[in-house]
Amino acid sequence: MKRIFVLFLILSITLFSFGNTIKYFTVLHTNDEHSSLVPTPPLDNHSTLENPTLGGFSRLSSLVNSVRKTNENVLLLSGGDYIGGPAFAWLTLYGYSSEISLMQKIGYDAVTIGNHEYDYGPDILAKYYKTAGYPHAHNKTAVIASNTVIPEGHPLNDVEIKNTHIKVLDNGLKIGIFGLMGKDAERVAPYAEPITFANRVETAKKSVEALRKENVDIIILLGHTGYAEDEELVKEVDGIDLIISGHSHTKRFEPLIVNDTIIVQAGSYLQYVGYLDLAYDTETKKLSIMNGEKPFLIPLDYTIAPDPVIEKEIAYYTERLNGIVSDLTMNRFNSIYDIVAYSDFEVTNQPRLQESPFGNFVADAMRFGVENATGKKVDLAVQANGVIRGAMTPGQMDFSKGKISFYDIVELVGLGFGPEYSPGYPLISVYLTGEEIRKVMEISILLCEFYGNTYFLQYSGASLEYSADRTFLFKIPFTNTRVPSTKSVTDAKLFTGTGIQNDEDMINLKKNDQKLYHVVTDYYLAAFLPFVGEVLPSLGLVLKNEHGEEVEDIEDLIIYNNNMEYKVWQAVLEYAADQQEIDGKNYILDYYNTTADRIVQKKALPVLFWPVVGIGAAAAAGLFFLLSK
């Protein structure tokens, strides 16, 4: 009997010890929250009825609280870009830190910094964090940005942004966290200067090594890098257990596992919360996913009741924002939920890398808005897809049917700021030759081949045909370097009439045309386009005034209306509010229900096809001549 008891005791101790090697925890994660304080589209939201809205910090808080009630070991993390997009982001320029303050209250353990955190420049970002209580607030929500290089003396140093962070869970697990800004994210963060970003691979290796020296069990990367760069990184860097990814707005309904690293991403605009149940074996050092039937992405939909505490905070920020809206619109609109227009259809920004109905709408709004503001005819308006953040979608519920609000429009075109530090990119009035306009078209097609949809341009006052097959002359062997042809545009025309362009009042925009044309774009694009000429002199542009004189300071080209910088969002808002009137309501024109063949892609032979054929024919003829002798 004694022997049986001893064996039973040994077996119990063995099983208990084995069971103790497995420690469980849950990771909740979001990314690219983009100032989505409220569910969107907001006009469709209802406290009791089923509705299509998604997102909102209040729903997020309720979900997080419900998970924490059943699990003591929960991490809540963000892959960055919590600022930017909807009008709530504008509060940053007025001394508020709405997003990060709410994230602290909800209980985020750590966040990283994305490119849109720099939308208003690093000086404003430093004030943003200080207002939210940093550096002391790292004890609530750590801000981690490992490859961010801050010059000596810059106020962002006072925030004491972390290179790495360690979080010890209640079950004893020691979690090491670091954060990275990706290459593509850096490229679309033009206002980050003088902040720079160190090499991602080297930084990741150093961060992993530093955390391993601290004897952490698990290493998590908060990577504002995008899914493509995530995969590249883990092929070069060992030891990262989990990547909470951001930037590419990817909805990963299943984790991706590369080189034993789990990679997840939860879309954007708080439409989803990522959910991971994980198990870590302290003996084998193996991390396993334990979700079972639980989804990896949980929609923040109407079924999740709002958290009343967070609702009260959001109401406070909404009231402050409404006051700003009243001032900026000279009391034409007094609330972000004011109705601007009506529509029986969605004005879409799709498909990617093509002309889109909303792209036409925005470009038309810019052309007409500047003509009204300056009294001067505008020949061409140009806008980039990267500044157009979505489709203009009318309300879908019985009580919101067809309505388009101030919030809906600003969410799509409200990015950036100008020298006056007021919200939105200012519009720019510049004069270019016909030849330079063709160069602008070539630049757009070329950049899209390298960087995708962000740099695809939409036009008002012009049409063009192009062939992507003609973008490059050839590829240099062994280096994979492609040589641009600058000959992808096969036909270009300018509209000479008034109002919305048609196919009749068009003239050919000939090569080497030196006539000056009035062109409107925004502050961001006007600053960026001339830099292409520094790399490819054949695509160089010179920004000029109406007298043909070169303008060196881009601020001299900003358009003012009512003594204020005239913004992209203002032009679009005004255009939407002044559409066709039907029964006392302004309806979006049916013209914008589809595209209008302003940009047409056609198949064409490569630029070098006929020269190569000619050389081949000449060589064949020569050979035939020699052989015939």
Do 235 and 357 reside in the same domain of the chain? no
Do 64 and 151 reside in the same domain of the chain? yes
* Burial status of residue 528 (CB atoms within 10 A of its CB: 0-12, 13-18, 19 or more): middle
Do 98 and 239 reside in the same domain of the chain? yes
Q: Which amino acid makes up residue 411?
A: E
Do 216 and 350 reside in the same domain of the chain? no
Q: What is the pTM of this model?
A: 0.89
Report pLDDT digits (tens) over 292-324: 999 999 999 999 999 999 999 999 999 999 999
Mean pLDDT confidence for 336-360: 95
Mean pLDDT confidence for 114-129: 97
Q: Which residue stretches of 330-472 are H helix?
A: 357-374, 406-413, 434-451
- The conformation of residue 54, written as its DSSP 8-state character, comes to B
The Cα 239–Cα 219 span in angstroms is 7
Does any domain span residue 6? Answer: no
Does any domain span residue 490? Answer: yes
Distance of CA 49 to the CA centre of its chain: 31
The Cα 367–Cα 525 span in angstroms is 15
The two three-digit tokens of residue 130, written as one number? 């200080």
Task: Look at the chain and report how many structural domains it folds into.
Answer: 2
The Cα 471–Cα 485 span in angstroms is 6
Report pLDDT digits (tens) over 407-421: 999 999 999 999 999
Does any domain span residue 326? Answer: no
Does any domain span residue 323? Answer: no
Does any domain span residue 319? Answer: no
The Cα 14–Cα 224 span in angstroms is 44
Task: Determine which of 165-174, 553-562, 616-625 has the lowest per-residue pLDDT on average.
Answer: 616-625
For residue 513, the model assigns a pLDDT of 94
| High-pLDDT (> 90) share of the chain, % | 80
Assign residue 422 the CATH number of its domain: 3.90.780.10
- Contact by Cβ (8 Å): 339, 407: no
Of 411, 366, 359, 381, which Cα lies nearest the Cα of 594? 359
Do 348 and 490 reside in the same domain of the chain? yes
Mean pLDDT confidence for 566-576: 97
Assign residue 101 the CATH number of its domain: 3.60.21.10
Do 511 and 603 reside in the same domain of the chain? yes
Do 160 and 250 reside in the same domain of the chain? yes
> How many C-beta atoms surround the C-beta of residue 381 within 10 A?
27
Task: Determine which of 116-120, 468-472, 531-535, 547-551 has the lowest per-residue pLDDT on average.
Answer: 531-535
Do 203 and 80 reside in the same domain of the chain? yes
Do 233 and 348 reside in the same domain of the chain? no
Report pLDDT digits (tens) over 41-76: 999 999 899 999 999 999 999 999 999 999 999 999
Max Cα-Cα span within the chain:
113
For residue 5, the model assigns a pLDDT of 44
- Before 357, cis peptide (omega within 30)? no
* Residue 450: C-alpha distances to residues 384, 426, 440, 444, 472 (Å): 15, 27, 16, 10, 11
Does any domain span residue 117? Answer: yes
For residue 608, the model assigns a pLDDT of 47
Q: Which amino acid makes up residue 299?
A: P
Does any domain span residue 21? Answer: no
Do 373 and 495 reside in the same domain of the chain? yes
- The conformation of residue 544, written as its DSSP 8-state character, comes to B
Final residue in a domain of this structure, among 258, 291, 310: 310
Do 109 and 241 reside in the same domain of the chain? yes
For residue 607, the model assigns a pLDDT of 52
Does any domain span residue 623? Answer: no
Strand pairing category for 272-281 and 286-289: antiparallel
- Contact by Cβ (8 Å): 253, 297: yes
pLDDT at 274 over 70: yes
Task: Determine which of 141-145, 158-162, 392-396, 624-628 has the lowest per-residue pLDDT on average.
Answer: 624-628
List strand residue ranges (DSSP E) for 246-379, in order.
Answer: 256-258, 261-264, 272-281, 286-289, 297-299, 339-342
For residue 606, the model assigns a pLDDT of 60
Burial 617-627 (b: 16+ CB within 10 A, else e): eeeeeeeeeee
What string of H, E and C letters represents the secondary structure of 482-540?
A: EEECCCCEEEEEEECCCCCCCCCCEEECCCCCCCEEEEEEEHHHHHHHHHHHHHCHHHC
The two three-digit tokens of residue 337, written as one number? 């939920």
Domain that residue 499 falls in: 338-609
For residue 476, the model assigns a pLDDT of 64
* Residue 153: C-alpha distances to residues 137, 148, 159, 194 (Å): 21, 15, 12, 11
pLDDT at 80 over 60: yes
Helix (H) or strand (E) holding 43: none
Do 124 and 273 reside in the same domain of the chain? yes
The Cα 269–Cα 272 span in angstroms is 8
